[in-house]
């Protein structure tokens, strides 16, 4: 009761002589997408000053911790960021879904190479690169120092596509800045 008719498994129903439905287990092939925002605030257009880098470095370290956990637990993982590799290189930083030690090393190399130079605003990055990818069935972790209505709209669109979206990082950074 309550299962939609389209989920009835007709072959299994005929074989078992009772109605059988397909089981949709989204955790059968878990996927984790780590997205790092290198902007300290939504209206930031300039570079991050050296004395302001520590909280962003902590977000990158947190992303690396998630990646290590995913590797150890057999979870396919992807990584993306709105940063540049350097001032002259406008290529995006993205590592597609994969698993295992080699993929983990590829993500660590990408995280180590990125510079805290914003390539584009984080909402624009989500709208132009992540949303059009059609990703579905993934757990997205957004590591960002701020959350805004624009980011919430993007998160809602990603949720409507069948993903979970979690924001991480602001409380840890606020605690750090309060101490400084």
Summarize pLDDT for 119-131 with one digit per residue, the tens. 888 999 999 999 9
- Least Cα distance to 130 among 99, 98, 157 occurs for 157
The pLDDT value given to residue 26 = 47
- Percentage of the chain beyond pLDDT 70 is 82
Q: In terms of pTM, does the model score above 0.85?
A: no
Counting every residue, how long is the chain?
Answer: 180
pLDDT number for residue 25: 52
**Integer Cα distance of 113 and 30 in angstroms:** 27
pLDDT tier at 2, thresholds 50, 70, 90? low
């Amino acid at each position: 009761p309550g299962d939609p008719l389209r989920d009835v498994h007709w072959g299994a129903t005929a074989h078992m002589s009772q109605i059988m439905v397909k089981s949709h287990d989204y955790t059968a092939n878990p996927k984790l997408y780590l997205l790092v925002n290198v902007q300290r605030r939504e209206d930031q257009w300039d570079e991050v000053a050296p004395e302001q880098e520590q909280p962003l470095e902590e977000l990158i370290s947190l992303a690396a911790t998630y990646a290590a956990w995913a590797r150890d637990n057999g979870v396919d993982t992807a990584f993306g960021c709105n940063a540049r590799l350097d001032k002259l290189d406008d290529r995006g930083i993205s590592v597609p879904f994969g698993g295992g030690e080699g993929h983990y090393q590829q993500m660590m190399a990408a995280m180590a190479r990125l510079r805290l130079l914003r390539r584009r605003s984080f909402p624009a990055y989500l709208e132009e690169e992540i949303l059009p990818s059609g990703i579905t069935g993934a757990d997205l972790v957004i590591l960002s120092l701020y959350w805004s209505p624009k980011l919430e709209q993007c998160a809602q669109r990603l949720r409507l596509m069948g993903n979970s979206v979690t924001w991480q990082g602001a409380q840890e950074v606020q605690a750090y800045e309060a101490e400084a």
